[in-house]
Amino acid sequence: MRTQVVIVGGGPSGLLLGQLLHRKGIETIILERKTREYVLGRIRAGILETGLVNMMREAGVAERMDKECFVHDGTCISYENEMFDINFQKLIGQNVVVYGQTEVTRDLYDARDAVGGQTIFEVEGVEIRDADTEAPYVTFTVDGSARRIDCDFVAGCDGFHGVSRKTIPDTVRKDYEKVFPFGWLGVLSETPPVHEELIYANSARGFALCSMRNENLSRYYVQCNVNDDIFEWTDEKFWDELKRRVPEAIAEKLVTGPSIEKSIAPLRSFVCEPMRWGRLFLCGDAAHIVPPTGAKGLNTAASDVHYLYEGLVHYYQDKDSHGIDTYSEKALARIWKAERFSWATTNMLHRFPDQSDFDLKMQRAEIESLHHNETAQKWFAQNYVGLPY
Ligand code: APR
Ligand code: PHB
């Protein structure tokens, strides 16, 4: 087979890139290791920056999002019994969209079907060959038969555990990593959200987050030990712990119910440099991971897609390779700022095993300055809604 761009990975970044390129008449084939149902079964975050919302529009997949999403002008932070609102609208005239990543991925799959985009599911043994030549190709097997796709470029959108990053030789690649000494236990419940905005809670018992998907679907998280046994976290224990970490007024109005999904996720920061090697370009989790505290996972994947999409369009339409030649540099410049915001908010809102009394005082002082200092709130708002592309 032959195509212009092989996209390895049928997650949100691969699908969004595929849809945008299709609308510019650039052909793609997406290779996905799992089934569509499996990909859509993964529960992920749901805060969309303005940049991603605009790209959903440009890709022609914004209709359901516009109908079903929440638009939030701000977010709340609590510490012990105190709670304050950071109003993005007042501070910088912007807002964020609350719409589940699962829904984004579903809309992108439906859009790809609608345009007859080729997606090959359940592929195995994907190998990216000759990416450092003018004629890369990808080999894989599906239904037991060996296949090969010749192409101009390969977009590695296959997540943290994919093959793309590992295709870049160690001699060329440098990985930066920080693993946090805790995880997040997340619960999805068919209950009304406890508050009209998200609440990021710092408490003596650790971090908690109150988030949502729709009027009757809520998402909550508590900081936990990453090795905790999920079966020891009964729903009752979860709700009890959550109530102890949010202000009393919030705990009183919290509607609890059976969890329909419950999982523990580790927290890490990770960046791979460079994000390009010859004709191979990394996008999203294949190149970088953020702790979820800053809601930057999907949004940094989206900014990568923005830069690569622009670069490829200029390459094919104007025979101008400046965009693809500066892709890695441009994408990384924005990613490192998102990494810093995610690292800073994680440090400000979680309890660390080795935290001294002095450290706790520093954390408290940082939260109080965010509470009472407009400049600090503006910085938070600019980063939370998303820095310009
Ligand atoms: N061959 C083909 N497909 C693969 C391979 C492989 N070797 N390895 C992984 N994949 C697929 C996975 O099954 C997954 O569907 O690549 C896809 C990668 O999707 P994501 O992990 O969702 O990564 P990305 O599209 O970059 O989205 C980033 O996902 O994890 C969240 O917080 C993260 O929100 C961010 C978003
Ligand atoms: C979520 O809704 O799952 C969510 C929201 C904000 C975050 C992380 C997760 O920072």
Q: Are strands 96-98 and 174-189 parallel, antiparallel or unpaired?
A: unpaired
The residue to which tokens 């809520």 are assigned? 218
CA of 376 to the centre of ligand 1 (A): 34
Average pLDDT over residues 33-61: 94
The percentage of residues in the chain with a pLDDT greater than 90, rounded to a whole number, is 98
The residue to which tokens 């304050």 are assigned? 84
CA of 204 to the centre of ligand 1 (A): 35
Domain ranges of the chain: 2-72+95-178+268-348, 180-266+352-385
Domains 2-72+95-178+268-348 and 180-266+352-385 share a fold: no
Point out the ligand 1 atom lying closest to the alpha carbon of residue 283: 26
For ligand 1, which residues put their CB under 6 angstroms from it?
A: 8-14, 31-34, 39, 44-45, 101, 123, 126, 157-159, 161-163, 284-285, 297-298, 301
Helices (H) and strands (E) in the chain, counts: 14, 20
Confidence of residue 43 (pLDDT cuts 50, 70, 90): confident
Report how far apart, in Å, the C-alpha atoms of 277 and of each of 166, 233, 360 are: 11, 44, 43
CA of 198 to the centre of ligand 2 (A): 8
pLDDT digits (tens, 9 = 90+) for 143-187: 999 999 999 999 999 999 999 999 999 999 999 999 999 999 999
Confidence of residue 340 (pLDDT cuts 50, 70, 90): very high
pLDDT value of residue 289: 98
Count of CB atoms situated within 10 Å of the CB of 38: 12
pLDDT digits (tens, 9 = 90+) for 184-222: 999 999 999 999 999 999 999 999 999 999 999 999 999
pLDDT digits (tens, 9 = 90+) for 83-94: 999 999 999 999
Catalytic residue set:
72, 200, 292, 296, 384
The percentage of residues in the chain with a pLDDT greater than 70, rounded to a whole number, is 100
Average pLDDT over residues 374-378: 98
pLDDT value of residue 45: 83
Confidence of residue 44 (pLDDT cuts 50, 70, 90): confident
pLDDT value of residue 222: 98
Q: Which ligand is nearest to the CA of 305?
A: 1
pLDDT value of residue 42: 84
DSSP single-letter state for residue 295: S
- 180-266+352-385 to CATH, choices 3.20.20.370, 3.20.20.450, 3.30.70.960, 3.30.9.10: 3.30.9.10
Q: Which ligand is nearest to the CA of 164?
A: 1
Q: Check pocket membership of 77 for ligand 2, CB cut-off 6 A.
A: no
Architecture in CATH of 2-72+95-178+268-348: 3-Layer(bba) Sandwich (3.50)
Count of CB atoms situated within 10 Å of the CB of 227: 8
For residue 41, pLDDT beyond 90:
no
pLDDT value of residue 299: 98
Determine which residue's CA is closest to atom 4 belonging to ligand 2.
45
CA of 16 to the centre of ligand 1 (A): 12
Give 141-174 as a 3 state SS string.
EECCEEEEEECCEEEECCCCCCCHHHHCCCCCCE
Q: How many whole angstroms separate alpha carbon 149 and alpha carbon 168?
A: 19
pLDDT digits (tens, 9 = 90+) for 235-273: 999 999 999 999 999 999 999 999 999 999 999 999 999
- Tell me which amino acid residue 245 is: R
Determine which residue's CA is closest to atom 22 belonging to ligand 1.
11
